[in-house]
Structure 1
Amino acid sequence: MSGRLISELPEQDLAGRRRASRNTLRAQFALVIFLLAFLPNLVLTLTAQPALPAGALVGWMLLVGVLCGMVGYVLSGALLRPLSRLQAEVEGGELTPHADDPAEILRLRRAFSDLLSRLGTEQTRRNAFMATLVHDLKTPLIAAGHLTHALVHLPMPDAERREVGAQMGAETARLLALVQQMADAHRFEREDVMVQSAPTDLRALLDGVARRVKPQAEWGGVEVTVDGSGYALADAQVLERAVTNLTENAIRYAHSKVELRVTPGGLVVADDGPGLGGSLAQLAQPFTSQPTTIAGQQYTAGTAGLGLFIARRIAEAHGGELHYTHQPHGLPSHEAASPLPASALPTVFTLTLPEVTP
């Protein structure tokens, strides 16, 4: 029974290919041209009723039919040549415009170019996502594994055991934060950020962020200050996530000081670090596929831009923008920047909001 089914499969496949070969655009064009050329000749011949034997008349019509079929085949190929050429280019992955392309083919070529560009972007981001899994997630997992092995198999006093347990907790928190950032970036890339705006005390929001990052700041020897006051319509929980991302990045690369400030234009996170290794538009992307240099340190493709991307999307959801300026050694910046007052510190991120009231 199974041998019979296997033998029937090639026959079914061959029949399907035959149907597909008959149901082509060229065959349809050739048939239309054939009918347009042959039917008038047939009507004229029958109307004229020439004094010819039936055999000769049938032979003449067969000859006309063959000629009409050949003309239809040749003309259909000529009409579809730009489409066949586009098919070959799409299969080869390289689209080149030609001067003799009809307008429809030009539009189709542009559509295919846009599609291939989007597919290429998705592929590079997928590769970067895999790099994230291999690199960024593996590091805390390996550290947690070593700590667990030490906690289970090595004799140690209670104080040291508690310290190892605290380190395990820190690695677990780092892993969870990274997973949350990856999930947020994936969601914010495909969906709009949902906000529920309400009157928000921006100074209280910054004070809460400063308290949350205090252990990280103390461990790095960085001072975090908060200044300014104001209110705005915002989703406090979502906006706090954006400011936290910016503040944690600032603490990670600052030399000694990070400043959080409420301004008439929004919220400012500034630090005395070396700044970004590229433009904000380039780095604030999810799962960037290019290596990134920050503070003189090389980062592989992965999560280097997740925090900035999430902050930018949250700013846009509130009707604002995320700006970045860097003024080394306190010199005025020559880059196009927001005219809002920011900070005397060199590296400044400004999350603008539509309206901030005192």
Structure 2
Amino acid sequence: MSGRLITESPGQDLAGRRRASRNTLRAQFALVIFLLAFLPNLVLTLTAQSTLPAGALMGWMLLVGVLCGMVGYVLSGALLRPLSRLQTEVEGGELRAHTDDPAEILRLRRAFSDLLARLGTEQTRRNAFMATLVHDLKTPLVAAGHLTHALVHLPLPEAERREVGAQMGAETARLLALVQQMADAHRFEREDVTVQSAPTDLRALIDGVARRLQPQAEWGGLELTVDGSGHAPADAPVLERAVTNLTENALRYARSRVELRVTPSGLVVADDGPGLGGSLAQLAQPFTSQPTTIAGQQYTAGTAGLGLFIARRIAEAHGGGLHYSHQPHELSSQDPASPPPASTLPTVFTLTLPEVTP
């Protein structure tokens, strides 16, 4: 079956432009003003005892109609001048304040200004994120390329060949993890996270996360500990992904120690790092992964923003939330009557869950 290109004839295009010109706010305003001015004159003329000939009377009504139409056209243009000015400024992308604007136009101008500001911020964030993504993808790809070249072209002993193969596997896993986070962020940004809850051993869940990330902790010279116990209805694989994201972020910024803990309110990931460079509401977004300065130290771009966003969405899907605090805890200064802190470490992320039982 062949396709056909449907085009409009010049007559159809002209008719469409005429319909559009009639269906404008100025045309409607002009018609209303014309009717308000012309109909009373028509009623008075018809009801008056006039001795004028019919032709003169029709000429007079025609003149009144033309004058009413002109008045309607001029007044409608004056009424809509602020709106036309706003349209021109929006098309130019630059809004300016005008003291003679009506209150409705001022509110509309503020709404457009806020919208343009949000669009500009979103575009800046996405541009920065794309630059970060290219960097994060390029690094393991270049490393894998060098390793492949060494594996193919260099006469390596068997032990070194196995080590190169292991490094290639690590770089591939890093790429897959980044791609998975991108896919998760894209899905979680556009649709609700669905979970299938079942009784879950929270201590076993964080034990599994700690075992998988222990090599990363040892490579960075960090201590990774696990504490607490409890059960809660949860989707274990999905919840484990959130805890893994939080733990990887903690291992990236911690100075010496990272702690995973089960508490009566949920799961806690704490570290002794400098904390976030902004509020959780700012950073737990899918397109904020960019270089930042935290506690006076420059940190490279990574996938921290993606990880926090995914963890927050997963927590919300379980009926809880993601909370952040950065406050040094001194055990000696704690009031004995107050509840113990979630962690003695300064940077604490709490993934709250309902119905946590011992």
TM-score (norm 1): 0.84
Matches within 5 A, 1:257-336: 257-288=257-288, 291-294=291-294, 296-300=297-301, 303-327=303-327
Q: Is the 8 A contact 2:249 2:304 kept in 1?
A: no
Could you say what secondary structure the match of 1:68 adopts? helix
Bigger Cα displacement from structure 2, 90-99 vs 170-179: 90-99
Deviations 1:263-284 (A, max 9, x none): 1222111223333333323222
Q: 1:353 to 1:97 in 2, by over 3 A?
A: farther
Distance, in Å, in 1 between the alignment partners of 2:101 and 2:331 is: 54
Deviations 1:119-144 (A, max 9, x none): 33442343234223322212212221
Equivalent in the alignment of 2:66:
66
Could you say what secondary structure the match of 1:137 adopts? helix
Equivalent in the alignment of 1:152:
152
Bigger Cα displacement from structure 2, 111-120 vs 27-36: 111-120
Alpha-carbon deviation of 1:229?
1.0
Deviations 1:279-314 (A, max 9, x none): 3232222111763235723334x6331111211222
Matches within 5 A, 1:55-94: 55-94=55-94
Q: Is the 8 A contact 1:277 1:292 kept in 2?
A: yes
Equivalent in the alignment of 1:336:
none
Counterpart of 2:260, as a letter, is L
Alpha-carbon deviation of 1:329?
8.6
Q: 1:155 to 1:13 in 2, by over 3 A?
A: farther
Q: Is the 8 A contact 1:276 1:293 kept in 2?
A: no
Equivalent in the alignment of 2:251:
251
Alpha-carbon deviation of 1:327?
3.7
Equivalent in the alignment of 1:351:
351
Q: 1:60 to 1:138 in 2, by over 3 A?
A: same
CA RMSD, 1 decimal? 3.1
Alpha-carbon deviation of 1:145?
1.8
Distance, in Å, in 2 between the alignment partners of 1:172 and 1:51 is: 100
User: Would you say how many aligned residue pairs link Structure 1 and Structure 2?
Assistant: 346
Runs of 5+ in structure 1 lacking a partner? 334-338
Q: Is the 8 A contact 1:250 1:269 kept in 2?
A: yes
Bigger Cα displacement from structure 2, 100-109 vs 209-218: 100-109
Could you say what secondary structure the match of 1:259 adopts? strand
Q: Is the 8 A contact 1:258 1:270 kept in 2?
A: yes
Alpha-carbon deviation of 1:346?
2.6
1:177 aligns with 2:160: no
Q: 1:299 to 1:221 in 2, by over 3 A?
A: closer
Distance, in Å, in 2 between the alignment partners of 1:303 and 1:259 is: 20
Runs of 4+ residues deviating >4 angstroms? 8-16, 94-111, 328-333
Counterpart of 1:231, as a letter, is H
Deviations 1:38-81 (A, max 9, x none): 23323332333522344433332232122111211122123323
Q: 1:161 to 1:215 in 2, by over 3 A?
A: same
Equivalent in the alignment of 1:233:
233
Counterpart of 2:320, as a letter, is G
Equivalent in the alignment of 2:209:
209
Q: 1:128 to 1:303 in 2, by over 3 A?
A: farther
Equivalent in the alignment of 1:120:
120
Counterpart of 2:23, as a letter, is N
Counterpart of 1:149, as a letter, is H
Q: 1:103 to 1:340 in 2, by over 3 A?
A: farther
Bigger Cα displacement from structure 2, 179-188 vs 347-356: 347-356
Alpha-carbon deviation of 1:26?
0.7
Counterpart of 1:60, as a letter, is W
Distance, in Å, in 1 between the alignment partners of 2:16 and 2:142 is: 54
Q: 1:150 to 1:14 in 2, by over 3 A?
A: farther
Q: 1:290 to 1:148 in 2, by over 3 A?
A: closer
Alpha-carbon deviation of 1:99?
6.5
TM-score (norm 2): 0.84
Q: Is the 8 A contact 2:329 2:344 kept in 1?
A: no
Distance, in Å, in 1 between the alignment partners of 2:311 and 2:357 is: 22
Alpha-carbon deviation of 1:204?
0.9
Deviations 1:223-255 (A, max 9, x none): 211111111222221111111111112222223
Equivalent in the alignment of 2:35:
35
Could you say what secondary structure the match of 2:304 adopts? coil
